[in-house]
Structure 1
């Protein structure tokens, strides 16, 4: 039988891991890393905003864009 736990908090993981080990269960950890290109784009965008290259718009302008 296979059991999958999702959304386990980091603080709870050692307890669950210890319990599983004491009961003789196998543990397989799978992280879902973000796409490196996506991360790079986000970091570059944040840096450009810090460098003052962002564009400020008002709520009215934003609402107009969303029509």
Structure 2
């Protein structure tokens, strides 16, 4: 059987790990990587800005755009 704990506070994690270990439970930490397409888009956008292809906007212009 699997048990998944969510919203565990950092201060409680050592206690839970210790309890699980004393009971003989196996602890696995599963990392969920970012979507590769999302990462690719972010890296490309950062490169474009670095290459000077970005545009500058004032806060007023940005607020107007978001209306």
> Is TM more than 0.5 here?
yes
Which structure 1 residue ranges, 4+ long, deviate > 6 Å from structure 2? none
User: How many residues are paired up?
Assistant: 63
Partner in structure 2 of residue 39 of structure 1: 39
Q: Which runs of 5+ in 1 are unaligned?
A: none
Once superposed, what is the RMSD of the aligned Cα atoms? 2.5
Alignment of 1:1-67 (within 5 A): 3-6=3-6, 19=18, 20-67=20-67
Q: Which runs of 5+ in 2 are unaligned?
A: none
Instruction: State TM-score, norm by structure 2.
Output: 0.66
